[in-house]
Amino acid sequence: MDCSICSAMPFILRPPRNTICGACYEAARSLITFTNKLEGGDNGVLAKSTIATTVNSPSISSKGFANALKCLKEMKELEEELNDKLTFLGGFVAAFRDQIHTDIQVKPGNNGPPIPAHRALLAARSNIFKNMLDSDGCKAPPSYDTIIALPELNYEELESLLEFLYSGSLPKEKVDKHVYSLSVAADKYDIPFLHKFCEQQMLGSLSSSNALDVLEIADVCSNQALKETALKFIVKNMEDIVFSPRFDAFALKNPHLTVQITRASFMDIKNRRNVV
């Protein structure tokens, strides 16, 4: 049908010239519903009534689209403002990278070399670090000779942790390589933003090859939501995962999780039988 929105030449449309096609209708409804939710509206009820009057009441639909356009412009302005803030705060990254006025060293495990850092930033990012720095061993005036140790992290893991604390992000290759150790560090040192970041990364990359690792880390960090998601994924892909070489080592190391997988699998089978 002719569409007054997506047609290449709407001025030659046959009357009535205010009709829209199904694709534009659904797109418009989704757009207005989305912006209404952002504004704390009624979850789309207003959007549906607005779109329903598109053909017969152009003024009402115009108001709906005007609000949606206004909201999108505000989101664009907010994005630009946040980008400016990130650029401004990027000075912390430069201070870490170039070791500008560092006043403490953080030592990894395995006798790795210490990494220079800043007391104030560590204390601001983690209450655990703050307490460590407030302890008797670190209360002396700032000195480059002061060292705190994070023995559970190797040098690369510690460097990635510090980079995240300074910048709030990490390159993909470092995330892929260190997400599990960073998740454990986020839990141990009470770094909520890093904890959420790692959780999102693990959920986004969940697959048959890493589901057992995600389940194990979720259990160690007492992340119940992530644990349930990983457990459901394993049950859904039971054959690929249980017969993989990784499963034998996992079962020996985590007998309690193996029991939970078995029980979840039986419950899934039972529920499917009840549905049938």
CA-to-CA distance for 192 and 185, rounded, in angstroms?
A: 11
Q: At what angle do helices 22-38 and 45-52 cross, to 10 degrees?
A: 150
Q: Among residues of the chain, what percentage have pLDDT more than 90?
A: 51
Instruction: Indicate the SS3 state at residue 148.
Output: strand
**CA angle 106–109–113, rounded 5-degree value:** 55
Other CB atoms closer than 10 Å to residue 49's CB: what's the count? Answer: 12
Whole-number pLDDT of residue 265: 94
Q: Is the pTM of this model over 0.85?
A: no
Encode pLDDT of 57-94 as tens digits.
Answer: 444 444 567 777 788 788 888 888 888 877 777 778 88
Encode pLDDT of 12-47 as tens digits.
Answer: 556 666 677 888 888 888 887 877 777 664 444 444
Q: Is the pLDDT of residue 171 over 80?
A: yes
Instruction: Characterise 168 by phi-psi region: left (phi > 0), alpha (psi -120 to 50), beta (else).
Output: left
